[in-house]
Structure 1
Amino acid sequence: MSAKKRLFLIDAYALIFRGYYAFIKNPRINSKGQDTSAIMGFMNSLFDVIKRENPDHLAVCFDKDGSAERKEIFEDYKANRDETPQVIRDSVPIIKDIIKSMHIPVVEISGMEADDIIGTLAKQAEKEDYEVNMVTPDKDFAQLVSDSIFMYRPARMGNGIEKWGLEEVKERFGVDRPEQVIDYLGMMGDAADNIPGLPGVGDKTAKKFIKEFGSMEALLENTDQLKGKMKEKVEAHKEQGMMSKKLATIITDCDVKFDAESYEVSPPDVEKVVDIFKELEFRRLTEQFIRMYNQPKEGETPEKTDENKIAGAGQFSLFGNDTDKKNVDVDELQGYKSLENTSHFYQYIADDFALELFLNKLLKQKSVCFDTETTSLNSLEAELVGIAFSWEKHKGYYVSIPENRKEAETILEKLKAFFENENIEKVGQNLKYDIKVLANYNIEVKGQLFDTMLAHYIINPDMRHNMDILSETYLNYSPQPITDLIGKKGKNQKTMRDIDIEDQTEYAVEDADITFQLKNYFEKELEDAHNKPLYFDLEIPLIRVLASMEINGIHLDKNALEQLSERLEKDIKKLEESIYKEADETFNIGSPKQLGEILFGKLKIAKKPKKTKSGQYSTAEDVLSFHAEEHQIVREVLEWRQLSKLKSTYVDALPKQINKKTNRVHTEFMQTVAATGRLSSNNPNLQNIPIRTERGREVRKAFVPRDENHTLLAADYSQIELRIIASLSEEETMIEAFNNGEDIHASTAAKVFDVPIDEVTREQRSNAKTVNFGIIYGVSAFGLSNQTDLSRKESKELIDTYYETYPKLRSYIDQQIAFAREHGYVKTVMGRRRYLKDINARNAMVRGGAERNAVNAPVQGSAADIIKVAMISIFDEMNKREMKSQMLLQVHDELIFDAHNDEVDELKTLIKDKMESAFKLNVPLDVEIGTGNNWLEAH
């Protein structure tokens, strides 16, 4: 008996939305500024199904114009849904083009939802003896499950594929038959679709009713068996219950016909799909797509095992159709050049004589790209394996560095003449890493620098900046992946030392060659964007400053952290006991689902609890903060979260990141992450250590000077963002307050509350401070009332009075938004651009976010630029004076130093002078400096 044929029906929008939100924190933006997250997310899911399941028949179903029938029954059906993000609207036509090019049917009917189309097709195919898999995360589809129809829930966030058959549905919903899922959904309603359900009926009660009565109708006929409030509610909402059941019912007789022939999986138009992917800059997906159709059919042996060849349609593993199509070259299809199809001359410098000839040539160059090959990504532990050099397209050289330290130093001593030559420009991708590795061998990289990763960050801050992507995007060239040489991550991964010298040469010199070509391309781009001064005067000099800071590291008092960890453990336990007592049961406080059930289901701390898209109670920070004042348990949960995060993220994690060789913590400052220009800190992240809480401040106590001859010194810009916005907006009242050295928050309070400055209360100053900082981030009356003791009405009045007091500020905000609308970007005081692709979006929420960025990006970005200028200036002066003190950290508007005890006063004067003169605003820059035996004391 032959196995059933398998039909897979894809719920398009469910997977598109899921794909889009999977990338929400790190959107995929290509070189054209196009957000491709939704397309990439959907294609990943589609390819996963095809590769994993090898379906016989396949179709993708779309909603079109919403459900006319359900809208007729209930006007507010899905009325609470946010408007579809513009990115998704723009992505859907492209997704449809790809699907059609893959020769997969796109099924949509005006006035019908995808649920109904899938339901109808599933029931028709079942009658024709197909196994049907409905590919969707949407639980509503469980009502359609049968012996032959399954729910296929795609993998997500580390959870594997789930396939729900009859047993899974019965267990998940507490039903005897899948059609009772409709009763379950009707009873409890659905927040996502705005189906009201029966008041007071949640998951547990719905399951209980189904066990007792079997259906909605039976429940409503037997309300005499209910008691108290529940009886009253159900009887009063009988019509609503029946309507909810109808809304939750998937239609299975809509106007669509399952056509086995047209739904059969058939060969795609490979070239067309690859063209679309190339336009979108989908490199990995192109490779995946080609490899999917690059396997021989069962029982066949391919003549070639060359991975770079794609079998013709006749060999496609997914299809049996023979065509005359010959094998196609992957690179031809992608249009990418590569080592295999590009003429190049990469030479290995094999002996001393060759090295002398090479050095002679090298030292005559004006600009050279170099790339180090090492044993580790950790620059402090990395050993040099070799160095590649290139100064001409498709040409380059490779010098191998022996493992023996003495032999290595002999070769490097000769190469020093190049690295320490002030007249030769050094080009690289992420030069900071190479500078740090060479510092391990006492080599200083001198002369002008050009970093392609940094250049691209200045040109297109929202895109990713790794070399493979840059090469394919700008040079149409696909570099050899490192995994081809050393294998994938894991215990069997090799290091570059294990690789043949010929392969090392090809790989390493290719990187240097590509980087040199990118340099030539980006030079012109920087010119066109008028960003050369920002790049060459700010970001490039900063590389050496950050490399030095990262090499220095900072000393950590391990014992202080261990003691703090013990104290936190006791505090956390104490809070847990109190929370369990309030809840009258133990549960997992860290589980949003369990916490939501306790707070909103059991304790009912809110009349209308907010729910997430999946229908769970929301326990997000802002939601709980809203209820904290009235409920002790909520205050304790928030404190429990805070302490638990502090303990795991910092107190217990920091000691593990102390370097064994230096006994210090060496964070890495990332120059190319934040679109605003701010530096970010990684491994460990020292920028987010909480400072507002007592326990958070205690973490800072553990950062101490290197020895008894040093003191920690902290220098902090005072209210720099407010000074910048006062200067940019040319708001005289604010400028005057700063120029007179007044307390800006007291000055603001005096004006908006109309009282003399010496009569301003602490509360008034606090409210004025919240507005002062909130204005930069577009604070609303709702937001202000959440952050203060003011009501929504009082907050609105305060904001209105604020703008009346500072009219030029209001005008500046409007001008910034208008400029962004017209040009698509805003600028900092040093010309750094922040591109705002959503500034003209139709969706008001999305557009509002871009408008807030139009105001705060120039302010935040200018603050970032100014502190960078100060860092370079201080670093250069300290070197000039050959000081023993060292710059260690930059955290937002603050710089931390190991100040040698003999130099404290001199260093204070130097720092104050350089920081306050870093940029000329209409108001003075003010710097506060402190010293101490730890970071907290110094701050």
Structure 2
Amino acid sequence: MTKQKLLLLDGNSLAYRAFFALPLLTNESGIHTNATYGFTTMLQKIIGEENPTQMLVAFDAGKTTFRHESYGEYKGGRQKTPPELSEQFPYIRKLIDAYNIKRYELEQYEADDIIGTLAKEAAGKGIEVIIVSGDKDLTQLATDDVTVYITKKGITDIEKYTPGHIEEKYGLTPLQIIDMKGLMGDQSDNIPGVPGVGEKTAIKLLKEHGTVEKLYEAIDSLKASKMKEKLVDNEELAHLSKKLATIHTEAPITIGIDDLAYAGPNEEALIDVWKELGFKSLIEKSDFEVEEAEQAQIEFTQVETITSDMLSETMALHLELEDEHYHTCKALGLALSDGEKTYFMSIGEEFENTALKAWLEDPTKKKYIADSKATQARLQRFGITLKGVDFDLLLAAYILKPSISGDDVATLAKEFGYQDVQSNEAVYGKGAKWTLPTADALAEHVSRKAVAVWKLQPVLEMKLQENQQFELYKELELPLAHILGKMESEGITVNIDTLKQMGDELKSKLDVMEQTIYDHAGEKFNINSPKQLGVILFDKLGLPVIKKTKTGYSTAADVLEKLQSEHEIVKHILQYRTLAKLNSTYIEGLTKEIHQDDAKVHTRFQQALTSTGRLSSTDPNLQNIPIRLEEGRKIRQAFVPSKEGWMLFAADYSQIELRVLAHMCQDEALVDAFKQGMDIHTRTAMDVFGVEAEAVTSNMRRTAKAVNFGIVYGISDYGLSQNLDITRKEAATFIDNYLKSFPGVKGYMDSIVEDAKKAGYVTTILNRRRYLPDITSSNFNLRSFAERTAMNTPIQGSAADIIKKAMIDMNARLEKEGLQAKLLLQVHDELIFEAPPEEIEILERIVPEVMEHAIELIVPLKVDYSHGPTWYDAK
């Protein structure tokens, strides 16, 4: 019989640990995920290592407990939970449910009391118990049957408290931990203790007397001293503090050990939660198998070639690609369907079907496609220019449901009730298990996708019309897909020699820095080894230890930044790491992405990914080149025109999101500042700090800039305090001053939230929607996040609409002017073109003209532009 093992987790404590252990992270929907991700990795690790037979996650039920009856200030003085953490608790609970783990909370009791009660019950039945928390109070529960795992600085670095470990560490028994807290108090829980008694004194007294009670029984025998006076004067506090620190092991819970059986997660539900949160790495690492629904039969014909008589005026077209990456993309086959007849044709390296080619390039023949951009980019490789695209499943689904995760036809189809197509994973497998199915299975799978597109076209277009989003789809996203497809096919030239030279220069710098670090250390060691670096910094050089891990000293970036003033070596190590990452990720990484055939990189623009409508760039990601660092910005020197003597021309919207904010809120001061052409950050600094323009310092402007952009992104006082390295109180003051200075912004925020509560969504200038199902939730955390999203999505989304419209207008203008110039990249709010030198003057005239009037706002849009022989020079 399998030995029973109960795993009890302190939900609130572990969530807090995870939140503060990881930097603030958000998924594509803007949901903060650092606590949820940390909690997930902890669950994965602990379940894998312990294989529990029973599990429970306990949560605190509210702000007040029975302990407040004894001491009203219990847990008083705690800072308010950061909203970035509060909004994650509903997702943590959702995650726990997907794992099929029981969770429980009890009014007037804390998670500790639930855990203590269940631990006592389980141990009494001979069940092994493991408690996991970040709170050392729980160590009082340790027995021969109960081990308490306390997370250290992170969430997976654990110290195991047994009675033996507690004896070794403190010289006390587990129950004496309560007495220790009674004497020394606990600042985190606002347990007062005896003023002036610290941990060492408390331990000394307990070793001599055993308990608080016995100490006071013998108080008269103690020698006269200031310590004795404090003990005598605060006897009542000592007894009260011990009572507050005692975990209740007989709480009136309504669950028992038999309710906590754990047999593993609901794999399908867990994958759905991970998709919603954007935990792609966890999905890829998992080996879950989710059952597919049965599909209805379809009829299709496999053919060797497509003839003219098979082609209708309107057909669904699906080109099956092995991988969308430009370098390795391979076409597996092509299917056509008009709802009655469906054909599948294998595709080799050549595309010799002249009838099909003519149909694909005929703008009068309508094509319904799952992903027109990817299809166009691949057909371009066959020398075919796709025309006549009239429906794009991916884009239509994205506009209707921007939170959809994934671009597989099956995923999109199921969102709209269509089940008769399997997922790629079910057909091909995933990761290392990917394999090509039989010819018949491939033909059926691709044919089913074409039929699905055909069936879904009227359904989705009708929904778009009902939502008044058909124009957004037809006039913006669909034509943009064609432009992006051309941009992906065109690519941008990268001078590999320049990259190599930069790499050599960086390596030389790294060699010099390496020797400098060795000189400061007094010996050679592996700088990239955290263990060896820790020994040098903390053992040999004696720097103060800030954080430890299970493998030794932490040498993470946040630790080193705090140590910069302690020793010269730290600054050099941080610089070394920055340059080393720059070399490996961006110099060597970019070199691998250069296509040998044309010396270009062909980044993939993801059009249907973000909830705000922003484009993202992958393979390679050109949006993440670290341009704040000069060495990083120099990487742009490697990006050059494709033709000798040509120039790169870059045009960048100036503060577009703040201009959109001014347009939407119509705050007089904000609108006036933009109309007068003032530097908006200086203007904000003047108002927030109450000074004239000439008195605004660079520090003031920096703070104002952080507040300006923070407001756009719905930042909290906690988030701003992290950005500016100031206290939450100071950050809150800055935000309050901003909102007083620009009352229209506050009015806009209030009204947009109220409108969202009525409609259930917010919209951008071009009617892009973001649905907010939690905007009226009774759960404060869910509602707060939805409100923050309601405030910032119209701003970010409208900025995305504007630059997309500018791209379409620019493409049309280039064609109208008959220019050779080509649009190559969109990076954030910037467009990059290449052009012959004689066309630069024309671009200087038409690019700002088009971009500044893509959509008319009540404040002027402003575009900065420049040109040069490289992208670096064009900035």
Alignment TM-score > 0.5, same fold: yes
Aligned to 1:314: none
* Cα separation, 1, equivalents of 2:582 and 2:621: 13
Amino acid at match of 2:336: F
Measure the CA separation in 2 of the matches of 1:94 and 1:861.
28
Match of 1:713 among 649, 654, 657: 649
The answer to whether the aligner puts 1:897 opposite 2:851 as a matched pair is no
Residue number in structure 1 paired with 2:360: 419
Q: Deviations over 1:801-858 (max 9, x none)?
A: 8767755455444433443343343322222223345555677787665555444332
User: Aligned residue for 2:802?
Assistant: 866
Aligned CA distance change for structure 1 residues 371 and 619 (closer, same or farther; 3 Å): same
Q: Would you say the 8 A contact 2:87–2:784 is kept in 1? A: no
Aligned AA (1:517): K
1:321 corresponding residue in structure 2: none
Corresponding residue for residue 470 of structure 1: 412
CA shift digits 1:23-76 (9 cap, x unpaired): 99566999xx9x9x9899899969996999483x67776655578454455544
Take 1:787 and 1:662, find their aligned partners in 2: how far apart are those partners?
42
**Separation in 2 of the partners of 1:625 and 1:883?**
51
Q: Could you tell me which of 392, 417, 423 is aligned with 2:339?
A: 392
2:123 maps to which residue? 126
Q: Counterparts in 2 of 1:10-21, with a 5 A limit?
A: 10-11=8-9, 13=11, 17=15
Q: Go from structure 1 to structure 2 and tell me whether the alpha carbon gap of 1:150 and 1:659 turns closer, same or farther (over 3 Å shift).
A: farther
Name the CA distance, whole Å, in 2 between partners of 1:338 and 1:15. Answer: 44
**Structure 1 residues 745 and 60, CA gap change in structure 2 (3 angstroms):** closer
1:745 CA displacement: 5.5
Q: Does 1:401 align with 2:340?
A: no
Give 1:447 shift.
0.8
- Cα gap change, 1:626/1:552 in structure 2, threshold over 3 Å: closer, same or farther? same
* Separation of aligned partners in 2, 1:756 and 1:212: 65
CA distance in 2, matches of 1:410, 1:847: 57
**Does structure 1 residue 447 correspond to structure 2 residue 445?**
no
Shift of 1:81: 6.9
Would the alpha carbon gap of residues 436 and 514 (structure 1) be closer, same or farther in structure 2, given more than 3 Å must change?
Answer: same
Which amino acid is the alignment partner of residue 364 of structure 1? Answer: S
2:488 and 2:602 in contact (8 A); partners too: yes
1:473 partner amino acid:
E
Q: Which residue of the partner structure matches residue 484 of structure 2? A: 546
Q: Is residue 16–residue 38 contact of structure 1 (8 Å, CA) maintained in 2?
A: no
Alignment of 1:329-728 (within 5 A): 337-339=293-295, 342-349=296-303, 351-352=304-305, 355-356=306-307, 359-361=308-310, 363-366=311-314, 368-392=315-339, 396-402=342-348, 405=349, 408-411=350-353, 413-467=354-408, 468-475=410-417, 477=419, 479-490=421-432, 493-494=434-435, 496=436, 499-554=437-492, 555-556=494-495, 557-566=498-507, 569=510, 573=514, 646-728=582-664
SS at match of 2:352: helix
Structure-2 change in CA distance of 1:731 and 1:51 (3 Å): closer
Q: How does 1:725-744 map to 2 (within 5 A)?
A: 725-731=661-667, 735=671, 738-739=674-675, 741=677
**Which letter does structure 2 place at the counterpart of 1:338?**
E
Tell me, in whole angstroms, the C-alpha distance in 2 between the residues paired with 1:515 and 1:884. Answer: 36
In structure 2, how many angstroms separate the alpha carbons of the residues matched to 1:483 and 1:796?
48
State how far apart, in whole Å, the 1-side matches of 2:405 and 2:427 are.
24
**Correspondence for 1:312:** none
1:933 matched to 2:874 = no
Amino-acid identity (%)? 32
Residue in structure 1 matched with residue 792 of structure 2 by the alignment: 856
CA contact (8 A) 2:543 2:566 kept: no
In the TM superposition, 1:23-42 aligns within 5 A as 25=25
Pair 1:750–1:572, CA change in 2 (3 A): same
Rate the CA distance shift 1:451–1:190 in 2: closer, same or farther, 3 A. Answer: farther
Q: Provide the TM-score with structure 1 as the length reference.
A: 0.71
| Unmatched runs of 5 consecutive residues or more in structure 2 | 278-287
Give yes or no for contact 1:29–1:464 (8 Å, CA) kept in 2. Answer: no
| Structure 2 residue 778 is matched with structure 1 residue 834 | no
Structure scoring higher RCO (CA < 8 A, sep ≥ 6) equals 2
Higher mean alpha-carbon deviation, 167-176 vs 830-839, is at 167-176
Secondary structure, aligned partner of 1:387: strand
Specify the code of the residue in structure 1 equivalent to 2:299. Answer: F
Q: Any conservation in 1 of the 2:140–2:174 contact (CA below 8 Å)?
A: yes
What secondary structure sits across from 1:829 in the alignment? Answer: coil
Q: Partner of 2:431: helix, strand, or coil? A: coil
- 1:365 Cα deviation from its structure 2 partner: 3.7
Measure, in 2, the Cα distance between the counterparts of 1:125 and 1:909.
Answer: 78
- Between the aligned partners of 1:28 and 1:680, the Cα distance in structure 2 is 10
Question: Would you say the 8 A contact 2:171–2:207 is kept in 1?
Answer: no
Alignment length (residue pairs): 841
Deviation readout 1:251-307 (Å, 9 max, x if unpaired): 4344569977x5595999x9xx999999999999xxxxxxxxxx9xxxxxxxxxxx9
Deviation, structure 1 residue 229: 14
1:536, 1:709 → 2: CA distance? 38
Q: How far does the alpha carbon of each residue in 1:84-142 deviate from its partner, in whole angstroms, 9 at most, with x for none?
A: 9776786899899999xx8x988765544444344334334434434445577776555
Distance apart, 1:446 and its partner CA: 0.6
Q: 1:224-235, aligned counterparts within 5 Å?
A: none
Distance 1:185 1:734 in 2: 54
Relative distance call for 1:52 and 1:874 in structure 2 (3 A) is same
Q: Is the 8 A contact 2:55 2:262 kept in 1?
A: no
List alignment gaps of at least 5 residues for structure 1.
285-294, 296-306, 309-329, 332-336
Question: Is the Cα contact below 8 Å between 2:98 and 2:273 reproduced in 1?
Answer: no
Q: Deviations over 1:861-908 (max 9, x none)?
A: 222211111111222333455644322221222111222234322333
Q: Name the stretch that deviates more: 896-905 or 541-550.
A: 896-905
- 8 Å Cα contact 1:173/1:181 also seen in 2: no
CA contact (8 A) 1:173 1:184 kept: no
Please identify, of 211-220 and 440-449, the stretch whose mean Cα deviation from structure 2 is larger. 211-220
Could you tell me how far 1:19 is from its partner in structure 2?
13
The C-alpha deviation readout for 1:186-230, integer Å capped at 9, x for no partner, is 899877656678999999x899989998978699999999xx999
Larger CA deviation: 473-482 vs 442-451: 473-482
Q: Aligned equivalents of 1:234 and 1:646: distance in 2?
A: 59
For 2:609 and 2:407, the matched residues in 1 are separated by 12
User: For the residues of structure 1 that align with 2:249 and 2:688, how far apart are their CA atoms?
Assistant: 63
Tell me the distance in 2 between the aligned counterparts of 1:202 and 1:832: 59
Moved more, 239-248 or 481-490: 239-248
Q: Distance in 2 between matches of 1:812 and 1:252?
A: 51
The whole-number CA distance in structure 2 between the counterparts of 1:257 and 1:783 is 39
* Partner Cα distance (1:672, 1:563) in 2: 38
Q: Please state whether the residue corresponding to 1:252 is helix, strand or coil.
A: coil
RMSD: 6.1
State the shift of 1:364 in Å: 1.8
Distance in 1 (CA, whole Å) between partners of 2:570 and 2:501 is 30
Mapping of residues 299-318 of structure 1, within 5 Å: none
SS in 1 for 2:319: strand
- Residue 489 of structure 1 deviates from its aligned partner by 1.7
Judge which range, 470-479 or 682-691, deviates more.
Answer: 470-479
